[in-house]
């Protein structure tokens, strides 16, 4: 069964600074556990990952809290190979047509973002578009590699404009993921379960549904 969640409206949350944003999401954000342990027989390790979400009139805000045994973030260049690091991802179906968007962020805030038809067919975001996606987190933007239990968080403010929208939609089809291809314990966690035979997050047919509440 595909996951579903109602996302709360929090006025001006997209204008908050790091500390206020985190405090409000912890107290009022929708809670989306990334508890689907896909391909567990081949990749048995499962980190503890919880996402929280809210939205304003202009943007969707998503925050990931992660606890894992190996923290690795060595990619410093946007649109680089962030999925090989400790990485969290938000994929969303194009609300205006075919394809989907993927936003992949490592633990230090390096971001890959693209509009896609498939894994192979993609148009990556420009530098200015990437800069419009504000990132806050618990770690500095410098290389880190720690082979012990580590906790970290990262938040992204994604303007609806980068999805081609002028206001919040009523629904979005989406999924959230945690991976780390080059970690000591590779893993592929998700919010909505992915049912294909091998690890593949580029599968919109398994996206869940986000419903946006009316303004409160």
pLDDT at 215 exceeding the cut of 80? no
- Per-residue pLDDT of 84-134, as tens digits, reads 999 999 999 999 999 999 999 999 999 999 999 999 999 999 999 999 999
The confidence score (pLDDT) of residue 177 equals 98
Cβ neighbours of residue 173 under 8 Å, at least 6 residues apart? 92, 93, 204, 207, 208, 209, 210
Residue in 112, 134, 135 with CA at minimum distance from that of residue 125: 112
User: CA-CA distances (angstroms) from residue 20 to 35, 107, 125, 204?
Assistant: 27, 20, 28, 33
User: Domain coordinates of the chain in residue numbers?
Assistant: 13-195
- Would the pLDDT of 48 be above 90? yes
Strand partners, 50: 33, 65
Give the model's confidence band at 213: pLDDT under 50 very low, under 70 low, under 90 confident, else very high. confident
Q: How confident is the model at residue 214 (pLDDT cuts 50, 70, 90)?
A: low
Tell me the per-residue pLDDT of 137-158, one tens digit each, with 9 for 90 and over: 999 999 999 999 999 999 999 9
Which residue stretches of the chain are H helix?
A: 18-28, 127-131
Output the CATH code of domain 13-195.
2.60.40.1190
Six-digit token string for 163: 């999805």
């Amino acid at each position: 069964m595909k996951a579903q969640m109602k996302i709360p409206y929090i006025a001006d949350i997209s204008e908050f600074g790091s500390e206020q944003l985190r405090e409000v999401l912890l107290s009022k954000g929708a809670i989306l556990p990334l508890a689907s342990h896909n391909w567990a027989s081949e990749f048995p390790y499962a980190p503890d990952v919880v996402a929280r979400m809210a939205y304003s009139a202009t943007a969707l805000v998503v925050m990931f809290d992660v606890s894992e045994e190996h923290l690795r973030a060595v990619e410093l260049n946007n649109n680089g190979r962030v999925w090989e690091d400790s990485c969290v991802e938000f994929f969303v179906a194009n609300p205006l047509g075919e394809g989907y968007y993927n936003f992949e962020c490592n633990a230090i805030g390096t971001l890959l973002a693209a509009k896609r038809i498939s894994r192979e067919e993609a148009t990556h975001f420009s530098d200015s578009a990437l800069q419009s996606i504000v990132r806050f987190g618990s770690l500095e933007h410098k290389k880190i590699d720690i082979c012990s239990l580590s906790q970290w968080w990262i938040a992204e403010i994604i303007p609806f404009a980068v999805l081609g929208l002028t206001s919040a939609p009523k629904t979005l089809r989406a999924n959230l993921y945690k991976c780390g291809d080059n970690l000591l314990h590779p893993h592929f966690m998700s919010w909505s379960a992915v049912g294909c035979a091998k690890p593949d997050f580029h599968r919109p047919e398994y996206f869940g549904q986000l419903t946006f509440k009316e303004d409160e």
